[in-house]
Chain A
């Protein structure tokens, strides 16, 4: 948890359910709570189906109200966002909270120049005239390090590469000087060298503007690169959270450990992995959701839902054996530093 007394974003007990074909409610996100402090970069990490993207959509009120329902509290700078209606949302979304998505080419409108698209956002939220909005749009393109922004503002999205389009998306998201940027897998569709440049840009902009960033990703490499804190989700629940430095070097949930082990480090031909796949929403029974894949599992783990236990230094883990794992990690760290 953030140590700040007055965080920018406070999510408390967020539960998201969808209506199944049979009419029953199936929860895809369950009792998720976290905070994003001012000026902090927080990463929400998980695999496909873990609920991380649905969580980010709920934060922006973008879930379809007809077949989804959201419970819990989302407080943004003291304003309760849960249950907010259309017009009120417009004061928040795009203005105080910017968002960028995974596929920048899809997210931009192919029929308008990138300058027009950014200017439109600016006009919608501030009401300045066309010329001022255009000047500001060009300025935003400059700030995301697009060379010759005057010329590029007249380009259509198809004339730019994926990396350039993602820079345009960032320019658009930041055009109204939001307090929070939500970035949903911003580099997943990009080459690794372009990914590195985009992450560097996000970090630089964070330092320049002091904006808070909630980064949704499945890639712990990305987390290591820019996040201050990390929240790991599995099957709709938060299973571990803490500072990136702690979580990546000494994870205290077996799932986080498995995620780290599955990343090739060049030393062994065979990768460390866990069997099976995450449970599907609607087919989740009592007990720890990771139990069937966990090498530390005890019989007890199958019968009892583990709580998210708070540890020191703002860390938390949803594992019955967390204290044993913690001691194990501590001794491993101790050996490593000797």
Chain B
């Protein structure tokens, strides 16, 4: 049995459009999305802005309520759960967001933020909690002295480490990572990817890894889903997606990965390997006037 089984997930939003935003129309953000994720595996969900990948992540964790479909996590349907059950389940289903500063409360110390899930789910005593937080911080490459600091006193990479520590506090089976390294510099990004990889080997955590960067996930993920306009248009192992893309959009994404070979040393024209223009596709029913390119 798969750890996570998503079937026919659908969500539309009521978008405003027209000159004064008076007219309304449904925007299909996620359409009939289905996939499975096994224990200890990494599934990457790839797509551009507006493709519906973040909405999918939020639907699975029930931060927003879907219109239809089912989300089966460890054999239980998340969408049927009441709030109390859902809260218990969230100990095994964590999330890490793109903007580390936005995901930790600026008025709460790092130690309290990381320890909060323990208070909610495990009810540990203060001293035990502090010991556990200290070891978690060390595990993610911070030090126990960071416990008394506030998020603003740490760098972006350090705050993201703290957010990861908070996510693993309750030994989750699955972490939904929504662009966890997009806001970080390249070396810090590599450090965080390696940290996630190590944690997976150590604790058998599965990742649903949302990213717009196919280059980043092709080595890191076991399998890849490509989303466009709310739908999954391509899927396969990371190897298949890269070597044998099954959809034109996947080929565009692959072609747009900047090569590290300087243009002066390439054979052929500078931009022969790049798409001539960006994709012109926009979600069905998106506000008129929004144009990409």
Interface residues of A (CB under 8 A from B): 47-48, 145-147, 155, 159-164, 167, 191-197, 200, 203, 218-226, 228, 243-245, 248-249, 258-275, 277
CA distance A48 to B189 in the complex (A): 12
- CB within 8 Å for A161 and B242 given contacts A203-B270, A226-B263, A245-B264: no
A193 touches B279 (CB 8 A): yes
Number of interface residues of B (CB under 8 A): 51
A192 touches B262 (CB 8 A): no
Instruction: Indicate whether B81 reaches chain A with its CB closer than 8 angstroms.
Output: no
**Choice from A219, A224, A228, A258 contacting B187 with Cβ under 8 Å:** A258
User: Can you name 23 A-B pairs with beta carbons within 8 Å?
Assistant: A47-B187, A48-B185, A147-B293, A159-B289, A161-B292, A192-B258, A193-B275, A193-B278, A195-B256, A195-B258, A196-B255, A197-B275, A203-B270, A219-B258, A224-B260, A224-B262, A224-B263, A243-B262, A249-B261, A263-B186, A264-B190, A264-B216, A273-B194
CA distance A273 to B193 in the complex (A): 10
Interface residues of B (CB under 8 A from A): 48-49, 155-158, 185-191, 193-194, 197, 212-216, 218-220, 242, 252-253, 255-265, 270-271, 274-279, 289-293
CA distance A265 to B259 in the complex (A): 9
A249 touches B219 (CB 8 A): no
State the Cβ distance, B158 to closest chain A Cβ, in Å. 8
- B residues in contact with A258, CB < 8 Å: 187
- CB within 8 Å for A197 and B219 given contacts A192-B253, A244-B264: no
B258 touches A269 (CB 8 A): no
**Choice from B156, B218, B290 contacting A48 with Cβ under 8 Å:** B156
CA distance A267 to B262 in the complex (A): 19
**Choice from A164, A200, A249, A261 contacting B292 with Cβ under 8 Å:** A164
- A residues in contact with B257, CB < 8 Å: 192, 221
CA distance A191 to B282 in the complex (A): 13
CA distance A220 to B191 in the complex (A): 17
B279 touches A224 (CB 8 A): no
- CB within 8 Å for A192 and B212 given contacts A48-B156, A164-B293, A200-B274: yes
- A residues in contact with B197, CB < 8 Å: 269-270
B48 touches A272 (CB 8 A): no
- B residues in contact with A194, CB < 8 Å: 48, 278, 292-293
A273 touches B191 (CB 8 A): yes
- CB within 8 Å for A248 and B260 given contacts A193-B253, A269-B220: yes
B256 touches A196 (CB 8 A): yes
Closest to A222 in B: B258
- A residues in contact with B289, CB < 8 Å: 155, 159
State the Cβ distance, B237 to closest chain A Cβ, in Å. 13
State the Cβ distance, A234 to closest chain B Cβ, in Å. 11
Q: Which of B185, B261, B270, B275: most chain A CB closer than 10 A?
A: B185
- CB within 8 Å for A273 and B212 given contacts A163-B292, A224-B259: no
